[in-house]
Structure 1
Amino acid sequence: MPLLKVDGITCGYGDAEILSNVSMEIGNAEIVSIIGPNGAGKSTLMKAVFGLLHPWRGTISFNGQDISRFEPYEIVRTGMCYVPQVDNVFTWLTVEENLEIGAYTLTGASLQERKDTVFELFPRLAERRRQRAGKMSGGERQMVAMGSALMLDPSLLLLDEPSAGLAPKMVEHIFDRIRTINRTGLAIMMVEQNAKQSLQMAHRGYVLASGENRVEGTGQELLNDPDVARLYLGG
């Protein structure tokens, strides 16, 4: 049974249909990359999975439970966390305070244990634990956002454009951290404009275009597909 199963969902905003009969799956401890041109519906798919939009048709199941009508706070309790592309940290709070907000249901030893785990994954955050997030670089803020999402020890992490706006060196560092997080057994669904790099690290991938499934396969299969390369990878 897949960890996450999106089965033929159609949804959008107001009367505007963005996704049409889209399906996908994520298995335990998989990295699955969603790629496609701007306006393809990638971020809309992620919002639907996290309950920020509800499908008009079709279903979304997580750990065998239908979560199609769940609200985000209910979905978090099932073991899924989401890192949006923008406005993903509390800029006026310190790194440590951001992490503690991410662990709003934890106290005492459990809270400290999760903070220690996050600081082990992101040593730079440990060094800057008392620094305000708003004074950090874009890449460091992305680490804070990811660390905060990991505080509740989810089984699925949703990442919306984790490399957006980052310098190339920091992009490499963020992707390296994503690989490290995945090696702990955490499944990751990633929407990413940096298609080549995301497919290189993905176990499987899906190509969306005009709100519909176009191609799916392993990351390597999509990288080697000449049509995918020509239309979506720039060569």
Structure 2
Amino acid sequence: MVSMPLLKVDRVTCGYGDMQVLTDVSIEVQRGEVVSIIGPNGAGKSTVMKAVFGLLHPWSGTIEFDGVDISRHEPYQIVETGMCYVPQVANVFTELTVDENLDMGAFVRADSEVGQRKEQIFELFPRLYERRRQKAGKMSGGERQMVAMGSALMLDPKLILLDEPSAGLAPKMVDHIFERIVHINQTFNIAVMMVEQNAKQSLQMAHRGYVMASGENRVEGTGEELLNDPDVARLYLGG
């Protein structure tokens, strides 16, 4: 018996205003799975994220999360179902401290649960505990990314959406962020769907991947299959 996907994007077409970006895009994420979406700039990868999180609504097609059609839901409704989104930019409250950012992330949780969850986040990102009183706007790009991911995890989501989590980070910090993503998936059993320009590294950690180009699905398979596909390597992995 095939299990029902946690997230099912089924033949979604959408865009901005009159400009169509996605055409019949279909993507699935199973429970506890890491899925990476790769492709060139302008492929529509971030648009998929925005459509899934309700920042854009499909012109056609459907989006289901945990068995519920969320195609017309707004972001605040989607958060309440157990999905969080970490955008590439403007993903922290710069004038708030680390502690305050985490508290903001827990806005739909009971007060009694916040302290315990925050302890788990500090165990995951020890540097945030060290700098918990510091304003997020004074932190490095990598540290802000940790704050953003920690804030999303405060909600104990079933699925976290990560849009370019390694963008603009130093190589050593990129390795650390990817390591933490694997830890989040394996330790907290949280499904991850990420858009990432660092295609090779993201596919190495992904259970499955999708290659997009010009707003359409082009190739899909396990992370290993895509890494070993000569056409994918030539066109999208720089090899």
Report the TM range for the smaller structure's normalisation.
over 0.9
Q: How far apart are the structure 1 equivalents of 2:122 and 2:150?
A: 8
Q: Which residue of 1 aligns with 2:202?
A: 198
Following TM superposition, by how much is the alpha carbon of 1:58 offset from its aligned partner in structure 2, in angstroms?
A: 0.1
Q: How many residues align?
A: 235
Matched letter for residue 124 of structure 2: L
Following TM superposition, by how much is the alpha carbon of 1:117 offset from its aligned partner in structure 2, in angstroms?
A: 1.2
Q: How far apart are the structure 2 equivalents of 1:127 and 1:29?
A: 30
Are 1:28 and 2:31 counterparts? yes
Q: Which residue of 1 aligns with 2:173?
A: 170
Following TM superposition, by how much is the alpha carbon of 1:234 offset from its aligned partner in structure 2, in angstroms?
A: 0.4
Following TM superposition, by how much is the alpha carbon of 1:46 offset from its aligned partner in structure 2, in angstroms?
A: 0.5
Which aligned segments of 4 or more residues in structure 1 are displaced greater than 2 angstroms?
A: 105-109
In the alignment, structure 1 segments of 5+ residues that lack a partner are none
Q: 2:9 aligns with which of 6, 9, 13?
A: 6
Whether contact under 8 Å (2:84, 2:159) holds in the other structure is yes
Q: 1:63 aligns with which of 49, 62, 66?
A: 66
Q: 2:152 aligns with which of 149, 153, 166?
A: 149
Following TM superposition, by how much is the alpha carbon of 1:105 offset from its aligned partner in structure 2, in angstroms?
A: 2.2
Q: Which residue of 2 aligns with 1:114?
A: 117
Matched letter for residue 108 of structure 1: D
Q: Which residue of 1 aligns with 2:136?
A: 133
Are 1:225 and 2:207 counterparts? no
1:8 is paired with a residue of what secondary structure?
strand
What TM-score, normalized by structure 2, do the two folds share?
0.97
Whether contact under 8 Å (2:165, 2:196) holds in the other structure is yes
Following TM superposition, by how much is the alpha carbon of 1:114 offset from its aligned partner in structure 2, in angstroms?
A: 1.1
Matched letter for residue 21 of structure 2: I
Q: How far apart are the structure 2 equivalents of 1:193 and 1:163?
A: 8
Matched letter for residue 192 of structure 1: E
Following TM superposition, by how much is the alpha carbon of 1:109 offset from its aligned partner in structure 2, in angstroms?
A: 2.4
Any idea what the Cα deviations from partners look like across 1:190-223, whole Å, max 9, x if unmatched?
A: 0000000000000000000000000000000000
Any idea what the Cα deviations from partners look like across 1:119-150, whole Å, max 9, x if unmatched?
A: 11111111111011011110000000000000
Q: How far apart are the structure 1 equivalents of 2:108 and 2:216?
A: 37
What TM-score, normalized by structure 1, do the two folds share?
0.99
Q: How far apart are the structure 2 equivalents of 1:202 and 1:107?
A: 32
Matched letter for residue 210 of structure 2: Y
Are 1:91 and 2:94 counterparts? yes
Q: How far apart are the structure 2 equivalents of 1:21 and 1:106?
A: 36
Q: How far apart are the structure 2 equivalents of 1:49 and 1:73?
A: 13
Identity %: 77
Are 1:187 and 2:196 counterparts? no
2:95 is paired with a residue of what secondary structure?
coil
Matched letter for residue 19 of structure 1: L
Q: Which residue of 2 aligns with 1:43?
A: 46
Following TM superposition, by how much is the alpha carbon of 1:106 offset from its aligned partner in structure 2, in angstroms?
A: 2.8
Following TM superposition, by how much is the alpha carbon of 1:107 offset from its aligned partner in structure 2, in angstroms?
A: 4.2
Any idea what the Cα deviations from partners look like across 1:31-83, whole Å, max 9, x if unmatched?
A: 00000000000000000000000000000000000000000000000000000
